[in-house]
Structure 1
Amino acid sequence: MLNNYGHQALDIEINRLNLTDMDIYVSGFQNCKTNHSFGPAVRDYFLVHYIYKGKGKFIVNNKTYYLSAGQGFLICPDIVTYYEADSNDPWTYAWIGFNGLKAKTYLEQANLTQDNPIFSTTEKENSIKKIFDKMKVVNDLKKGKELELLGLLYLFLSKLIKDNDNLNSDKENPKEIYLKEAIKYIHKNYNRYNLTVSQIAEYIGVDRTYLWSIFKSYLNLSPQQFLIEFRIDKACRLMKNKKLSIGDISRSVGYQDPLTFSKIFKKIKGVAPSKYKKETDNK
């Protein structure tokens, strides 16, 4: 029998097993017979089933889900579940079990949780089915099996996350989506000397005038004003770095001419950048 020290050592080793981002536990494929079932039982890892054909039911938290081809279900660790193949049209499914530090986070990003354990595929090409097809082939490998399965698991979760993001985007106001994309583009490109509002509008696929109306409606600023204030805000943060000159800061935020930068900075902040930097240095 294990003493207290032995139990502690065992707990440490178990915890070490869960220190990786993602680990594969099991994977497989099965043509179920009529009324084939499993449970009620618990798992100590996440387990996803994808249904190729047929029907069945999945029971968790006193809820019964009747599922068919193109759908799947998630079993969470330490949760009692039961699932059973249909008596007339038993399902065929593939499964993959996994855990790790990032497992729950990725599943939540895909909107696949204990309270929302069902996912469905609706696209014609059904890329999720293709991923599980590859898993079925990989299961027969003697070398590199776990590594390839892990890669396919990441692809599967990535697909679910993208589908969930697209679903949420469809629910958003299109103007808000354009605004967010424009701000993202500015954030990534504000330090370019030749960045223009026309380029921003072209990137997100709208007319320049329409982009102007969105910014004025939501922020009461034109896109050009927003870009200028964004650059000046970045410049103010760089002022804290004593090693940077005004010219260095100017070029870092998209102004090739320090004189132009100084004029714009003073207009926005009310003081010259040199004075602002000196006051910052003295704080």
Structure 2
Amino acid sequence: MGKIFKNDVSVLFNNNPISEDFHLYECGYEECKPTKPYEFVPIDYWVIHYCIAGEGIFQIEDKQNHIKAGDIFMIPPYTKNKYYPLPENPWSYHWIGLRGKQIHKLLSMCGLSPETYIIHNELDTHLKNLFEKIYQEFQRERYFKSISTTFLLFDYLGNHLRLKQKAELSTTEVYFNAILNYIHKNYADNISISDIATANNIDRTYVFKLFQKYLKISPSQYLQQYRLSKACTLLRKTSLSITDISYTVGFQHAPYFTKLFTQYIGETPSEYRKEYMRFGEDSFS
């Protein structure tokens, strides 16, 4: 960092968003000195840090996490947090701050979400260079260039690191991901738990154990919920009849679909569709 940046800390802001969907609001870096732990006031935008040297503690939702060089940690908007360097080996990091309606979706595609705040990894020179370039272009007021580099950063996180982590998955995780992929591709067919097990060359009992381990529900419950989520989309987005929608998402009997939909969603498919038609698409996520 010393060859590129002159000071120990710097932060830059851009208060003129190009779009409501995506705004690179700030970026910065800091070579930290040992400090006492203190709590940060929650902010109204997303912040992604990349630790490039040293170690520190990141506390969020009352859970402490040890951060080392190579790790990424994210703070969602309006979230109580605390982070500080370890006195014996204080960290240095880059960060970017993001605003916009699509930030949540974009970060989720990169493996970061309000449920997954941290990506543990070895120090990655390419990732470090991307953060540095975002800062440099931002400093030169080349905002389109800094934004395009931010999307290169997203692409790298969403592909390279995700593939690397996938290669490190345990055997049970591999099986479970394969089961979910099978359900997502075949939910519209009349599939059973036996079909799921056979397609993945495992026993029915093992399918149940995997769902209990990772989701705490049965495979049948997951399949039903997934089908219902697809039905909600079709009710909002298409003019298909409720009977046609029930068959399209894999239910064999329309009355059973209506009963189950009402049980899970809290209103009938017809009521759900009318509500959507009354308020418009913007009322639904």
TM-score after normalising by structure 1: 0.50
Contact kept, 8 Å, 1:56 with 1:66, in 2: the verdict is yes
1:136, CA displacement in angstroms? 3.3
1:19, CA displacement in angstroms? 6.0
Task: Give the alignment partner of residue 146 of structure 2, picking from 145, 149, 162.
Answer: 149
Structure-1 separation of matches of 2:36 and 2:144: 31
Structure-2 separation of matches of 1:18 and 1:40: 28
Name 2:269's counterpart in structure 1: none
Structure-2 separation of matches of 1:33 and 1:113: 29
1:172, CA displacement in angstroms? 4.3
- SS of 1:34's partner is coil
Name 1:164's counterpart in structure 2: 162
Question: Are residue 40 (structure 1) and residue 37 (structure 2) matched?
Answer: no
Contact kept, 8 Å, 1:121 with 1:128, in 2: the verdict is no
What code does the residue aligned with 1:151 have? S
1:21, CA displacement in angstroms? 2.5
Structure-2 separation of matches of 1:131 and 1:36: 30
Q: Superposition pairs for residues 122-201 of structure 1, below 5 Å?
A: 122=122, 126-141=125-140, 143-144=141-142, 146-162=143-159, 163-164=161-162, 167-168=165-166, 172=174
- SS of 2:82's partner is strand
Structure-2 separation of matches of 1:106 and 1:38: 30
- SS of 1:88's partner is coil
1:47, CA displacement in angstroms? 0.2
Q: Superposition pairs for residues 51-62 of structure 1, below 5 Å?
A: 51-62=51-62
Gaps of 5+ in 1: 1-16, 184-216, 219-283
Contact kept, 8 Å, 1:38 with 1:83, in 2: the verdict is yes
Contact kept, 8 Å, 2:69 with 2:122, in 1: the verdict is no
Name 2:66's counterpart in structure 1: 66
1:60, CA displacement in angstroms? 0.5
Number of aligned positions between the proteins: 164
What code does the residue aligned with 2:137 have? V
Structure-1 separation of matches of 2:38 and 2:96: 15
Structure-1 separation of matches of 2:18 and 2:105: 14
Q: Higher Cα Rg: structure 1 or 2?
A: 1
- Which digits, 9 at most, give the CA deviation of each residue in 1:116-154, with x for residues without a partner? 10113347x64211211212322431x32x222211211
RMSD between aligned residues: 3.2
Structure-1 separation of matches of 2:36 and 2:93: 12
Gaps of 5+ in 2: 1-16, 186-197, 200-285
Contact kept, 8 Å, 1:138 with 1:149, in 2: the verdict is yes
Are the structure 2 counterparts of residues 73 and 127 from structure 1 closer, same or farther at C-alpha, using a change threshold of 3 Å?
A: same
- SS of 1:51's partner is strand
Which runs of at least 4 in structure 1 moved beyond 4 Å after TM superposition? 168-173
TM-score after normalising by structure 2: 0.50
Structure-2 separation of matches of 1:133 and 1:28: 9
Structure-2 separation of matches of 1:140 and 1:111: 28
Q: State, as a whole percentage, how many aligned pairs show the same letter.
A: 22
Contact kept, 8 Å, 2:48 with 2:97, in 1: the verdict is yes
Are the structure 2 counterparts of residues 137 and 115 from structure 1 closer, same or farther at C-alpha, using a change threshold of 3 Å?
A: same
What code does the residue aligned with 1:149 have? S
Contact kept, 8 Å, 2:49 with 2:74, in 1: the verdict is yes
Contact kept, 8 Å, 2:56 with 2:67, in 1: the verdict is yes
